[in-house]
Amino acid sequence: MSQAKSKQPDEIVAERIILELGKVKILSARNLNLLREKFANGTLSQDDAESLFEFDRPEGGTK
């Protein structure tokens, strides 16, 4: 009897952020995917976040 699960506010905001980040190309496509995944469960750690912007690291990889 439960209603179809609607999009939660977290998901809506995450999509908007991902869209904006994609527009300004701050992150690569792979990093955007990682961020999207971490947004989904709210588990982005500081290390993860640093690895998104740091150099000489494989894209999407973590420390």
- Positions touching other proteins (CB under 8 A) are 1-3, 6, 8-10, 12-14, 16-17, 20-21, 24, 26-27, 35, 38-46, 48-50, 52-56
- In terms of CB distance, is 33 or 38 closer to other proteins? 38
Rounded to a whole number of angstroms, the minimum distance from the CB of residue 42 to other proteins is 3
Residues 6+ apart with CB under 8 A from 53: 26, 27
* C-alpha to C-alpha distance for 4 and 59, rounded to whole angstroms: 36
Rounded to a whole number of angstroms, the minimum distance from the CB of residue 14 to other proteins is 6
Contact 33, 23 (CB under 8 A): no
